[in-house]
A and B are shown apart, each in its own frame.
Chain A
Amino acid sequence: MKPVLIEVSNLQKSYFSEGVETPILHDLTFSITEGEFVAIMGPSGSGKSTLLHILGFLDRHTTGEYRFKGKSIDDYSKDEVARVRNEMMGFVFQAFNLLPRISVLENVKLPLLYSRVAEREWNRRAEEAIRAVGLAHRFQFDAVRLSGGEKQRVAIARALVNSPSVIFADEPTGNLDSRSGVAVMDILQALNEERGHTIILITHEAYMAEHAERVIHILDGRIDKDEKVMKRIRK
């Protein structure tokens, strides 16, 4: 049995605006073990992005408990939160979020800048991550000159560079054509299957979720279904 990475119990999240409480997530309880590939699926407005932000230490829940690697998020200091994001989490966004005027290599090195990894290691690590997503021929390209699919692969390399425990991917194919989308999903799946990275994918498309082993369906801020994927796409 693999250790539990993420443990959520009775998690609730509300936004407050001018004293009015708007609940987003209600009473969520689930756990994710290391090495799992989980898709969180739901229509827009279901609260799945908010959930990802909380899981990724980018936002805080209102009540309930969230334990990451056995430690409650409330026990992490501000700097520790930054450190966890840096060393244990990788993020892949729908909008890629690369810095446009610097090279692919520099973009991938970005997380190392804030890490404890020795500087002499940076280039080697970044190059390795870029190779892993199949872009070795693009090291010195400026990020703006890449196609959408390539950009997202660079973003994945950036997420990989610190060998995180978990990669959060928020609609990673949302801005891509279907072919590039499939390529990106194949990479994520390979990272999970071949390298054992835990991957949490947010999507609203059922066929994307089929790359995962497990799908948590969110509807109106509640878990609707939590099921194993029967016909997982084989690479």
Chain B
Amino acid sequence: MALALRHTLVTSLNALATHKSRSALTILGIVIGITAIIVVTSVGETAEDIIVGELGGLGADTIVVRPGKEPKGPTDIAEVLLSDSLKQRELAALMKKSNVPHLADAAPEVLVTGSVSYGGETFRPVILGFTADFMVKTLKLRVASGVAFDERDIATRAPVAIIGSRVALELFGGEDPVGKNIDIKGRKFRVVGVFEKRGQVVFFDIDELVLVPYTTAQAFLVGTKHFNQIVVRAESPGLVDRTVFDIQQTLRALHDIDDPTKDDFSVQTQQGLVSQVRTIIGVFTIFLSFTVAIALIVGGIGIMNIMLVSVTERTREIGLRKALGATDRDIMRQFLVEAVFLTAIGGIIGVVLGFIISVAVSFFLSRSIGLPWEFHFSLSASLLGIIISSIVGLVFGIYPAYKASRRSPIEALRYE
């Protein structure tokens, strides 16, 4: 049997080699289909890895409280941005041990848009009003030179700032920024520290960050009393669900809300966010896979077409084999093996091509959003690609193989 199979493979290979360009064009459909499968799954998984990795950077114990009701569509986003339901009062309520017992720490966030300048240099960084302590702890950041501002600075709305390494470089060049005064939206801030070089972490670049006390940001830079969000850390990841519940109860009590659908805030956990992202990417992948399936069917029809041509061309060979004792089953098996062989080659080429394209796509993808390059190549998707292409060969090879098996042996003798 092994030798018989080898003989069949050699014969198939010969048949394919005789019509190189025809074989190549025939398997093109399969190659494209399988390439698409590999690219879609691989890029999908890479994107998922990047996003989940970024979210994971916040830590599983992190909870984010946002103003406005939970956004369900684009119009709700505006409400989140404009809502002023989270202020100092809400923060104080959450910080109370009796309200949210397992809260380890909480910090409000105030987003500022604007540019900073020093001397003649101007730079447009991400300006964030926050607490330095929370930032350093959650992101495991280090202040490379100088110090972080503290509780007292927050309480006194001190005009102090910690800047990222890129900001330091843009504004100060080689000079030491610590102790110097920079200008943020027309106000003087003293630089107390510079963050270590870290790059992109959780959707923003630490190197391009200017961190000021949130109280200072509210009072002097934005002029409003509400927060863009409050970031909470639970005592442990296991206590996140409990803490979310306590936060919801506290804020509902504070805002006199009985009906949870009328919440004027939303609470999001990292797990929730991660599973949301996974769902979105999953749906996207399924949709693309469906499109790819159509490409494979079209490819399969191409295979069937060319196998039928091959059966006609090889009438003489089929007749000869029958005269030498091949049964209908033997002939059928030979042509099936040939079709599967053809599509499996297409599948393997597709996997290799898909691999190359995926590497390129994920490279440019991570470059364009400024994240460290990450690549995810799915071995299971590759195996699946080759198996699927073989199945396409099997399914679309059956009809031509059946036709071949029905050929009469005397045609071989008639043939001149």
Contact = CB atoms under 8 A, between A and B. Distances in A.
28 contacts: A53-B410, A53-B413, A58-B322, A58-B323, A58-B409, A58-B410, A78-B328, A82-B325, A82-B326, A82-B327, A85-B323, A87-B325, A95-B415, A99-B11, A99-B317, A99-B320, A101-B14, A102-B10, A102-B11, A109-B7, A111-B325, A113-B3, A113-B4, A113-B326, A114-B325, A158-B324, A162-B325, A170-B413
A29 interface: no
Given A95-B416, A97-B316, A56 B328 contact: no
Interface in A89-116: 91, 93, 95, 97, 99, 101-102, 106, 109-111, 113-115
A79 B323 CA distance: 12
B20 to A, nearest CB: 13
Contacts of B415: 95
Nearest to A87: B325
Nearest to B4: A113
B328 A97 contact: no
Interface in A183-224: none
Contacts of B325: 82-83, 85-87, 111, 114-115, 162
Given A58-B413, A95-B416, A99-B317, A106 B324 contact: no
B321 interface: yes
B317 A86 contact: no
B398 interface: no
Contacts of B380: none
Given A82-B322, A111-B324, 14 more contacts: A56-B323, A78-B327, A82-B325, A85-B325, A91-B324, A95-B416, A97-B316, A99-B320, A101-B14, A110-B321, A110-B324, A113-B7, A113-B326, A119-B3
B73 to A, nearest CB: 65
A122 interface: yes
Interface string B214-247: 0000000000000000000000000000000000
B327 A79 contact: yes
A85 B413 contact: no
A52 to B, nearest CB: 8
A99 B320 CA distance: 9
Interface of A: 49, 53, 56, 58-59, 78-79, 82-83, 85-87, 91, 93, 95, 97, 99, 101-102, 106, 109-111, 113-115, 119, 122, 158, 162, 170
A119 B2 CA distance: 9
Contacts of A53: 410, 413
A106 B7 contact: yes
Contacts of B323: 56, 58, 85, 91
B311 to A, nearest CB: 16
A93 B2 CA distance: 29
B21 interface: no
Contacts of B4: 113, 119
Contacts of A102: 10-11, 14
A122 B410 CA distance: 27
B413 A49 contact: yes
Contacts of B328: 78
B330 interface: yes
B1 to A, nearest CB: 8
A115 B325 CA distance: 8
B14 to A, nearest CB: 4
Contacts of B324: 85-86, 91, 110-111, 114, 158
Nearest to B10: A102
Closest 4 CB pairs of A and B: A86-B325, A114-B325, A101-B14, A82-B327
B111 interface: no
Nearest to B327: A82
Nearest to B2: A119
Nearest to B14: A101
B357 interface: no
Contacts of A87: 325
Given A85-B323, A86-B324, A101 B18 contact: yes
A6 B74 CA distance: 89
Contacts of A95: 415-416
B361 interface: no
Contacts of A59: 410
B128 interface: no
A58 B408 CA distance: 8
B412 interface: yes
B3 A93 contact: no
A24 to B, nearest CB: 12
Contacts of B11: 99, 102
Contacts of A113: 3-4, 7, 326
Contacts of A99: 11, 14, 317, 320
A95 B317 CA distance: 12
